[in-house]
Amino acid sequence: MSFSDRIRAELKRAALSIGAPEDVEPLLERPRDPTLADWASNIAMVLARPLRRKPAEIAVAIRDNVNLANAGVDRIEIAGPGFLNFRLDPVAVAATVRDIVAGNENYGRASDGGNAPVVVEFVSANPTGPLHVGHGRQAALGDAISSLLEWTGWNVSREFYYNDAGVQIDNLELSVRAHIDAKGGEAVIPAGGYHGDYVREIALRFDGAMDEGVREFAVRMLRAEQDLDMQAFGVKFDTYYLESSLYTHGKVQQAVDRLIENGQTYESDGALWLRTVEYGDDKDRVMRKRDGTFTYFVPDVAYHLTKWERGFTRAINVQGADHHGTTTRVRAGLRALDLGIPEGYPEYVLHQLVTVVKNGEEVKISKRAGSYVTVRDLIDWVGRDAVRFFFLMRKGDSPLIFDVDLARRQSDENPVYYLQMAHARMSGIFRVGEIDASQMDISSVDLSALTEPEEQALIKQLIDFPAEVRGAAAALEPHRITSYALETARLAHQWYHKHHVLGEPEPIMSARLALARAAQIVIRNTLHLLGIAAPERM
Q: In the structure, how many helices (H) and strands (E) does the chain have?
A: 22, 14
Residue 165 has pLDDT above 90, yes or no: no
Residue 511 has pLDDT above 90, yes or no: yes
The whole-number average pLDDT for the span 54-73 is 97
The whole-number average pLDDT for the span 66-75 is 97
H helix intervals, 393-440: 404-408, 415-432
For position 370, what pLDDT does the model report? 61
The whole-number average pLDDT for the span 211-229 is 89
Mapped onto helix, strand or coil, the DSSP state of residue 137 is: helix
What would the pLDDT profile of 166-189 be if each residue is shown by its tens digit?
A: 788 999 999 999 999 988 788 899
Q: Across the chain, what does the average pLDDT equal?
A: 94
Residue 130 backbone zone (phi > 0: left; psi -120 to 50: alpha; other: beta): beta
Question: Is the CATH number of domain 94-112+411-529 1.10.3720.10?
Answer: no
For position 94, what pLDDT does the model report? 98
Q: How confident is the model at residue 153 (pLDDT cuts 50, 70, 90)?
A: very high
Cis peptide before 466, with omega less than 30 degrees from 0? no
The whole-number average pLDDT for the span 489-515 is 98
For position 472, what pLDDT does the model report? 98
A 10 A CB-CB count for 190 gives 13
For position 271, what pLDDT does the model report? 97
Domain ranges of the chain: 3-88, 94-112+411-529, 354-408
The whole-number average pLDDT for the span 35-42 is 94
For position 367, what pLDDT does the model report? 53
**pLDDT cut 70: percent of the chain above it:** 98
> DSSP secondary structure string, 142-192?
HHHHHHHHHHTT-EEEEEEEE--SSHHHHHHHHHHHHHHHHTTS---PPTT
Beta strands in 234-360 (DSSP E): 239-242, 265-268, 271-274, 285-288, 315-320, 347-351, 354-358
- Higher model confidence: residue 296 or residue 424? 424
Q: What is the H or E stretch that residue 76 is in?
A: strand 73-79
The CATH homologous superfamily of the domain defined by 3-88: Arginyl tRNA synthetase N-terminal domain (3.30.1360.70)
What would the pLDDT profile of 256-312 be if each residue is shown by its tens digit?
A: 999 999 999 999 999 999 999 999 999 999 999 999 999 989 999 999 999 999 999
What would the pLDDT profile of 99-149 be if each residue is shown by its tens digit?
A: 999 999 999 999 999 999 999 999 998 888 889 999 999 999 999 999 999
Residue 457 has pLDDT above 60, yes or no: yes
What would the pLDDT profile of 79-104 be if each residue is shown by its tens digit?
A: 999 999 999 999 999 999 999 999 99
Q: How confident is the model at residue 533 (pLDDT cuts 50, 70, 90)?
A: very high
For position 209, what pLDDT does the model report? 56
Q: Which one, of 140, 209, 208, 53, lies nearest residue 349 by Cα?
A: 140
What would the pLDDT profile of 321-376 be if each residue is shown by its tens digit?
A: 988 888 999 999 999 999 999 999 999 999 999 999 999 999 976 555 566 888 99
Mapped onto helix, strand or coil, the DSSP state of residue 205 is: helix
Q: How confident is the model at residue 210 (pLDDT cuts 50, 70, 90)?
A: low
For position 316, what pLDDT does the model report? 98
What would the pLDDT profile of 222-237 be if each residue is shown by its tens digit?
A: 999 899 999 999 999 9
For position 368, what pLDDT does the model report? 56
Q: What is the H or E stretch that residue 139 is in?
A: helix 133-151
